[in-house]
Amino acid sequence: METEIKTDAADLSKKYFFIISNELIDHCKDLKINSVQLHLLLTVIRHAYQNDSAYPSIPTLNRKTGLSRPTIILNLRKLEEKGYIVKTRQFRDNKGQSNNLYSFKPLNNILDRLIKGENIQDILTPVKEINPPCKNPLLPPVKEINPPCKNPLLPPVKEINPNNIYKNNTYINNTNKNKTKDDADKSALILDSTRIEILDYLNLKTGKSFSYKNQNNLKNISARLKEGYTALQLKFVIDKKADEWLNDDKMNQYLNPETLFRPKKFEIYLNSKPPASTAAENKYANVKTTHIDNITGEMWVTGGADGTSSGN
């Protein structure tokens, strides 16, 4: 007598696979989820099993995605700002912080609506309030109940601007100073995340492991970004030189941040033509390719009969 063994698909999925809606892949561009954020999001979802939340640690995400800690933190925050995940801090019994809990129920709700055939623009556009409450000019104004009592014997109290600081018996407006500092902090964060993403991209393309903790690896990247070159231009040089040098035992050693982004060489690499190829290999020589920077959204066009590149 044969015994039929039934296997629960949910139990199998815990060990061997997890399911992703086609709508997530098909609408990445519309949802403004770039490749780094998609990789990160899929890794978080992989830990969810049968519910809409997961709590992988940052070291776990680092080990499974190969992304650096700052890149992981930055892109998780971007996914949260876009409304696709909700982060909840968790604490142990001894009040020490545990892994954050990430709920992607908001994203699942959007994907469910897409499956039902709703238009992506209707889903992402906030609904305006219909017939907002208005004041009826025919009704008398509502009087405030128990208004604050004003003592006629005391001088009026002047409201203190929170942006003012008290110094030498005088209030000094600190608004511009705070704004300048906030702008500087924001610019520094963008620069730091951009150069780390470029270093991660170099490691991905070459199979190497340059560390962002070594400032020498970031020095030339930072300098080129401050000169006005975009992240996409730096990645373009990485792609070009990796194609030329990766399988060359002699030149492979030069696939490093110091050589690729050296001030005297970088612009030469950026504007150099690809190596000559046979007619069969060169059948797409006249085709121009448009690249889109995941960070800035800039477009960069490469290719064409003259081998030139241009950006906007």
Whole-number Å distance between alpha carbons of 274 and 62: 34
Handedness of CA 252, 258, 264, 267 (dihedral sign): positive
* CATH fit for domain 11-124, picks 3.40.50.1980, 1.10.10.10, 3.20.20.70, 1.10.10.1150: 1.10.10.10
Domain ranges of the chain: 11-124, 183-283
Question: Band of the pLDDT at 237, cuts 50, 70, 90?
Answer: very high
The 10s digit of each residue's pLDDT in 35-91 is: 898 999 888 888 886 678 888 888 999 998 898 988 998 999 999 888 888 888 888
> pLDDT at position 50, please?
64
* % residues pLDDT > 70 (the chain): 61
Provide the whole-model pTM.
Answer: 0.41
Whole-number Å distance between alpha carbons of 239 and 37: 21
Nearest to 293 by CA among 253, 234, 205: 234
Q: What is the DSSP code (8-state) at residue 290? A: E
Question: Band of the pLDDT at 241, cuts 50, 70, 90?
Answer: very high
Which one of 130-139, 142-151, 260-269 scores highest in mean pLDDT? 260-269
Q: Determine the average pLDDT of the residues in 171-188.
A: 58
Helix (H, G, I), strand (E, B) or coil at 97: strand
Mean pLDDT of the chain: 74
Nearest to 213 by CA among 201, 230, 199, 231: 199
277 vs 219, more confident: 219
The 10s digit of each residue's pLDDT in 190-225 is: 667 888 888 889 989 898 888 878 888 888 998 998
Helix (H, G, I), strand (E, B) or coil at 26: helix
Whole-number Å distance between alpha carbons of 286 and 283: 8
Which residues, 6+ apart, have CB-to-CB distance to 32 below 8 Å? 82
Answer whether residue 22 shows pLDDT above 50. Answer: yes
